[in-house]
Structure 1
Amino acid sequence: MLFWNTARMSRSLVLNGGRPLIGDIEVRGAKNLVSKAMVAVVLAEEPCRLRGVPEISDVQIVAGLLELHGVKIDSSDRDGELLLDPTNVEQAHVADIDAHAGSSRVPVLLCGPLLHRLGEAFIPDLGGCRIGERPINFHLDVLRTFGAVVDKRPEGLRLTAPHGLKGADIQLPYPSVGTTEQVLLTAVRAEGTTVLRNAAIEPEIMDLVAILQKMGAIISVQTDRRIEIEGVPRLGGFDHLAIPDRIEAGSWACAALATAGDIYVRGAQQQPMMAFLNVFRRVGGSFDIDDEGIRFWHSGGDINSLAIETDVHPGLMTDWQQPLVVALTQTRGLSIIHETVYENRLGFTSALGEMGAQIQTYRNCLGSSPCRFSRANFQHSAVVSGPARLRGAEITVPDLRGGFSYLIAALAAEGTSKVHGIDLIYRGYENFSTKLDAVGADYDLI
C-alpha cells in the first residue's frame, strides 16, 4: 500500500481571510495524468516506474484498485515514486471493486487493459464530482466497437471479448478526454489499426501517449485531432516523470491574484499553461517564468474585468474557470464567463453569492464559441460584477475544483470562514494544508 493515509485527513477547516498570500509552493505530477498512467500499467507485462506522483487521494484509490487486480505497488522510501509490477494481474472480487468505485470513475478505464490481460472486466456504479452528466455511454460504445460484449447485471456491468479486441474506426461527437483515454488504452493491444477522429489532445493525453510509446505502442497524432494506433501483441514496462499539474498551478495563481499576493509555483511549466497565462495577463496579473517554475503576483491597483470562454485544449481549460471566477470578483466592472465543457460547473457560484460576490448565471450562451448547451436548460454562463467585498461564511465544498475555489474566496474574504467537506480537495491537491502554511494562510483544521 502507499505510504500516506488519506483516512486521517481533516474534513473541515476554519480560515481567517483578508491577508495576502506570499510564499513558495511546489506542484508535482498532474492528477489527470498520473491515475491514467497507473491504469496503463495493467497493459504491461513488465514492472513500471512512475515518478512525480503526488500524495492525493485519487492516487490512493487507483492504487487500491490495481492491488485488487494483483498489481504489486512499492512506494516505501521513495518520495513521489511508484514501482508497479503487473506481472500477475488477476480478476478482483466484485464486492471489493464496488467498495472502491464509489469514489472514482477510473474503473471504466480499466476495462480495455483487463480485457486484453484477462478477457473479462467489471464496472460497478461510478462516482466522481457532480459537475455534469459525464455519462459512460461513450466508453461502452467504444468498447463495443472494439468487439467487447457488455452484459448488464444488478451489481454493474460485466464485459467480455469472446473474439478478442480488434482495431476500429471511431469518430467522437465531442473531443472527450475520458473517451480518448479509453480508446488509447484499448487500441494499443487490439489487433489491427485504430483511427480515432475528433480526439482530445490535452497535454495530459499527450503525456499518456508518450508513456504508451515507451511501453512499445505505435501511435501517430495528426494535426486535425486524428490519432492512429497500430495494435501490438505485447507491451513492456516504462520509466516516466509525470507532467506537472497545470490545474493546481493555475489555482494557486488565482489565489495570489484574489488576495493581492505573490506565490512562486515551483514545477509549473509555461507551455501547458499558455491559455491560462494569457488570461492572467489580460486580467492584470503579473508572472515571471524561469527554469524551475512560475511566479504569480498581483501587481497593485485595479485588476481588469474581461470575458472568458472555456474550451477543450488548446482553449482555456474548464478546470481553471472556477478559481478564475473568484479572482474576477475582485475586478472592476463586469466579467462574462461562458462554460462550454461541463453543463453544471457554475453551480458553485451560489455559495460565493452568500459571501458577497455579485454573480448572475444564465441559460444563454454569453460567448461566440460553438456550445453544446445552446439549446439546453443549463445555467452555463455567468456575469460577475466587481469589485466585491467578500465576507467570511460557512460553506460546504461541492466538488474538487469548486472546493479549492471556495478556499480562495475564504482567503480573500474579510473575517472567518468555516469550510466543510475539504476531504474532496485532497483528491487533486497534494498537501494543500502544508502549502497554506507556506504562503502564510491563517487557518485551523478541525
Structure 2
Amino acid sequence: MTSALQITGGVPLEGTIEVRGAKNFVPKAMVAALLGSTPSVLQNVPEIKDVKVVTDLVALHGVEVNNDGQGALTLDPSNVTRARYADIDAHAGDSRIPILLCGPLLHTLGEAFIPDLGGCKIGDRPINYHLDVLRNFGAKVEKLESGIKMSAPNGLHGAKVELPYPSVGATEQVLLSATRARGRTELRGAATEPEIMNLIAVLQKMGAIITVQTDRVIHIEGVEELKGYNHRAMCDRIEAASWGSAALVTGGSIFVKGATQSDMMTFLNVFRKTGGDLDIRDDGIQFSHPGGSLNPLVVETDVHPGFMTDWQQPLVVALTQADGVSIVHETVYENRFGFTRALKGMGANIQLHRDCLGSTPCRFGQSNFVHSAIISGRTPLKAKDIHVPDLRGGFSHLIAALGAEGRSKVTGVELIQRGYERFTSKLEALGANFDVVDA
C-alpha cells in the first residue's frame, strides 16, 4: 500500500487512462450474489480496497469467490453459513457494507450482524434509515455490546417504505431485502442514481420483479427464488469526473477510457460551462483544458439527476483556477467542505458559509452546518505538505498538489486506494512528476 507521495506540481497531465467498475456499485452487486441459488459472474471489477473488504466478508459467510485476474469475479453462494461476530468486525474495518449484507443473510440464515462501524452510533441518521427499513420487513433488531444483531425467524415480508430523503444506501437496502420477501413492497422517496438502476438490472437478471415508476416510486414483487447473474459493471463516473477535474487543474488533456456519457451528463454540462473542452466518444471521454481562462460557476449538488456530491470536491479545486467568483452549495452532505482548509493553506481564496448560497434553499438552511462555499480566483496554488482526510477529499488534495508550484508531500494516500484503482500507475501514464516516499 502506498502511504506517501512527493509531488512536483505544475506538470500538465496528458495521456490515456482506463476507469473500470464503479466503487458505488460493484460491492453492492457482490452482496446481491448472496440472494442467488446459483453462482454469479461480475465483470469489469476494479482492484480497490472496498472490493477486497467485501470479498473477505462474503467469504466469511461461506461464499466461494474466484478472481480470474482480468477483472471478473465468480461468486458461488451454495454454502452460505454464519460467521463469528468478531471476524465480521475484524474484516469490516470502517466499511458500511455489513449493513447491506443484512437483507440477504436474513433471507438465507434468518440472522445477521452489524459491527460498530467506524465508531458509528445507533442514532446516526444513515444507520437509522437501514434499521427502520429492516424493521418494516419484519426483522428484530437487538443492540449488543459489539454491534447490532438482527433476526427474522419467520422470514421477511413485503412492506410500504417511505424514505424522508432519497438515500442511496437505504434504497439499496430495500431492494436487497424486498426481492425475496413475501408479498409486495412499495418504496417511496427512492434514490434513482445510475448505480441504483444498475443494481436493479442485476436483480432483474436474477429473476426479481421490480418496477420503477415516476416520482421516485419503486414496486417490488417478492419471489421465492433468485438465480445467479452475469453482469458487466458500469464505469465509475466519480473517478472519471475526478480525472476530468484534474485535467482542468493541471492544464492538461486526459482521455478516460470507459467513461460513459449517459451516466455523466450533468457533470459534462458543468465541465463545458467552465470552458473545458470535451470529446465524447463511444469508448470514453477526452477532458481537456481550453488553453485560456476558465469560467466561474454557480453549482449546487443534489441527488440524481442533479450534480453529484462526489463530483464537488475535485471541481472546487478546478474553480480556484477560474477567473472570477464561483459559488458551490452542498445540499447532500452537511459537512463536506473540511477539505478546503488544505486548499486555503496552498493559496486558494475560499470562504465558507452556513447560509444556502444557491438558488434553492436546502434542508441545511435552518441549521448551523457550513454547507456553502465562495471561491474567488484565479489563485496560483503553492506546494504544501498535506495529509489525506478521506477518499474524495484526498483525491482533491492530490490534484491540487499536481497543479501547485513546487514540491508537496501528500501522506495518507492509502485512503485514495479505497476507490481509485491503481491511481499511482495512472499518474505515471499521464506524466505526473512524483516519487513514492516513506510517510
TM normalised by structure 2 equals 0.98
Residues 222-251 of structure 1: CA deviation (Å, up to 9, x unaligned)? 121100000001110000000000000000
The 5 A counterparts of 1:129-278 are 135-278=126-269
Residues 21-75 of structure 1: CA deviation (Å, up to 9, x unaligned)? 1010000000000000001011111100000000000000010001000000111
Runs of 4+ with >6 A deviation: none
2:27 to 35, 40, 62: 35
Equivalent position of 2:421 in the other structure? 430
CA offset at residue 300 of structure 1? 1.3
Q: Which amino acid aligns with 1:35?
A: P
Cα distance in 1 for residues equivalent to 2:402 and 2:203: 41
Change (3 A) 1:332 1:128: farther
Equivalent position of 1:65 in the other structure? 57
Q: Which amino acid aligns with 2:105?
A: L
Cα distance in 1 for residues equivalent to 2:173 and 2:86: 24
CA offset at residue 372 of structure 1? 1.4
The 5 A counterparts of 1:365-444 are 365-444=356-435
CA offset at residue 349 of structure 1? 0.3
Q: Is the 8 A contact 1:101 1:127 kept in 2?
A: no
CA offset at residue 102 of structure 1? 2.2
CA offset at residue 128 of structure 1? 9.6
Q: Aligned to 1:208, what secondary structure does the other structure show?
A: helix
Structure 2 gap ranges (5+): none
Equivalent position of 1:19 in the other structure? 11
Q: Which amino acid aligns with 1:212?
A: L
CA RMSD of aligned residues (A): 1.2
Change (3 A) 1:178 1:82: same
CA offset at residue 163 of structure 1? 2.1
CA offset at residue 376 of structure 1? 1.0
Q: Which amino acid aligns with 2:51?
A: V
Q: Which amino acid aligns with 1:121?
A: A
Cα distance in 2 for residues equivalent to 1:27 and 1:128: 32
CA offset at residue 412 of structure 1? 0.4
Equivalent position of 1:119 in the other structure? 110
Q: Is the 8 A contact 1:69 1:92 kept in 2?
A: yes
Q: Aligned to 1:31, what secondary structure does the other structure show?
A: coil
Equivalent position of 1:3 in the other structure? none
Change (3 A) 1:177 1:100: same
2:294 to 290, 295, 303: 303
1:98 to 84, 89, 92: 89
CA offset at residue 337 of structure 1? 0.4
Equivalent position of 1:81 in the other structure? 72
Aligned residues: 435
Residues 120-174 of structure 1: CA deviation (Å, up to 9, x unaligned)? 0000011399xxx653000000000000000111011110012211100111100
TM normalised by structure 1 equals 0.96
1:291 to 274, 282, 288: 282
CA offset at residue 299 of structure 1? 1.2
Q: Aligned to 1:264, what secondary structure does the other structure show?
A: strand
Q: Is the 8 A contact 1:104 1:128 kept in 2?
A: no
Q: Which amino acid aligns with 1:300?
A: G
CA offset at residue 410 of structure 1? 0.3
Cα distance in 2 for residues equivalent to 1:372 and 1:11: 37
Q: Which amino acid aligns with 1:309?
A: E
1:321 aligns with 2:312: yes
Q: Aligned to 1:277, what secondary structure does the other structure show?
A: helix
Change (3 A) 1:313 1:42: same
Cα distance in 2 for residues equivalent to 1:135 and 1:274: 28
Which range is displaced more, 272-281 or 96-105?
96-105
